[in-house]
Amino acid sequence: MGLETWKAGDQATLHDLAALLPEYHSLRYPDFVEHYYGTSESCRLFLLRDDAGRILSCAGVEKLSLSTPDGPKTLAIGTNYHAFQSGAGAFLFLHWFRSGDLGALYGGSADARNLVLNQKAFALTELAGLKTLQINHAYADSPSESTWRRTAKSILRYSPFKTRIDRRAGEMLQRGSISVEAIPERAFTADMLVTESSFAVRLSPSVETLNWRYATDLNFVKYRLFRIVADGQPAGFVVLNEQPHRMLVAHCDSPDAWTLSQGIFAALAQACRGTRRSCGVLLSSSHPVTQSAFREFGFREHRGGRALALGARRMPAWSSDGSQWLINEDWGDNGLRPPFLGSHRITTRTPAVSSTGIQPEVITGSGSSSSRAA
């Protein structure tokens, strides 16, 4: 067997993978794969092949820079983890979890979660207190779902009882003791980064990494970037992922939880206007202050939300306490799911047994064949 790293431009391998994956799987979209796995050293797609060159399993790993009470750490978050033959996933799992100080699975299928949580090589935990919150039924589009589900979603989306996001955000901002604004930007700059924070555990990527991961000019996803300004002073940023019929709070940072919640409201007030004024909004939170602010806004818990599983040789004390973390919805590839915007797809038909002779889809990890229907 041999481990290899997928290289940008290797379309032949993408076609081999397409023969093993569901019709609308994210790895069938070359624009997404080329950017996410081919343009940054911090994110790679790994393949395990047998001696005949057939793909046995694959796993993406994105390395995230984490600020913690113990200093900087690397979080290796898994994406598109699949095994196409029984037992073939264990090797790539070990490679994934050894890629950082902590390994992480954020969401993922029941099979993938069972595999991770039953491993004996690492101490494992799930982050306590993490909630997925939504307002206005933030249902995702899914290209593979049935007609009746699409019809039901359409009815819920156009309910006359939905909250006006722009109006509600304005009401919440008026209650604050300081003025918080969200100013649209096209790219991250150094003065948008947070240097001191009340969050004990949070992502702390460089400007270069942020401009790669949440680039505002990608052709398959629409990110909208806002600078937070509190009483005239820089106070972090908010990134929104604008999708058909809904908005994800993709990533954000601010010196404290209250200012962060106000910055998110200010960004939503600008982004959710016109035809999007009552769109669904989805976000993740584990901090009690932000959770309280979001619930006051009108967000409610989504029962099918993601869990964050963490693993390391020795788990640090802060790893399982979600009240110390700043968590966001669009980590890993969670916000990068079909249908992608204006992106072509490899349409190779998925056979019952692939052309490589391997029975497909034994373990399915994060990166499912369609967007999660929130």
CATH number at residue 139: 3.40.630
For the stretch 312-357, pLDDT in tens is: 999 999 999 999 999 999 999 999 999 899 889 999 754 433 333 3
At 270, is the pLDDT very low, low, confident or very high (cuts 50, 70, 90)? very high
DSSP 129-153: T-EEEEES--PPP-TTS-HHHHHHH
Quick one: 270 and 121 in the same domain?
A: no
102's CB contacts (< 8 A; 6+ apart) are 66, 73, 74, 75, 76, 310, 311, 312, 319
State which residues form the domain around 263.
131-305+318-324
pLDDT value of residue 228: 98
Q: Cα-Cα-Cα-Cα dihedral of 156, 167, 326, 216, to 10°?
A: 80
pLDDT value of residue 359: 39
Quick one: 264 and 285 in the same domain?
A: yes
Residue 348 belongs to some domain of the structure: yes
pLDDT value of residue 117: 72
Quick one: 118 and 145 in the same domain?
A: no
| Domains identified in the chain, total number | 2
Q: Which of 192-206, 335-349, 358-372 has the lowest mean pLDDT?
A: 358-372
Residue 238 belongs to some domain of the structure: yes
Quick one: 72 and 142 in the same domain?
A: no
- pLDDT > 70? residue 153: no
220's CB contacts (< 8 A; 6+ apart) are 29, 31, 32, 35, 336, 340, 341, 342, 343
Q: Which pairs from 10-19 meet CB under 8 Å and 24+ separation?
A: 13/47, 13/55, 14/346, 15/346, 15/348, 16/55, 16/356, 17/55, 17/58, 18/346, 18/348, 18/350, 19/348, 19/350, 19/351, 19/354, 19/355, 19/356
130's CB contacts (< 8 A; 6+ apart) are 284, 285, 286, 305, 306, 307, 308, 322, 325, 327
How high does pLDDT run on average in the chain? 88
Residue 371 belongs to some domain of the structure: no
Quick one: 183 and 293 in the same domain?
A: yes
22's tokens = 């569901």
pLDDT value of residue 303: 81
Domain at 354, CATH number = 3.40.630.30
Whether the model pTM is above 0.85: yes
Quick one: 256 and 232 in the same domain?
A: yes
pLDDT value of residue 113: 74
Residue 111 burial by Cβ neighbours in a 10 Å radius (0-12, 13-18, 19+):
middle
Quick one: 272 and 220 in the same domain?
A: yes
Quick one: 98 and 143 in the same domain?
A: no
At 362, is the pLDDT very low, low, confident or very high (cuts 50, 70, 90)? very low
Interior angle at CA 187, CA 183 and CA 188, nearest 5: 85
Quick one: 107 and 201 in the same domain?
A: no
- pLDDT > 90? residue 98: yes
Residue 213 belongs to some domain of the structure: yes
Mean pLDDT, range 52-66, rounded to an integer: 96
Quick one: 13 and 77 in the same domain?
A: yes
Quick one: 151 and 169 in the same domain?
A: yes
pLDDT value of residue 305: 81
Quick one: 141 and 186 in the same domain?
A: yes
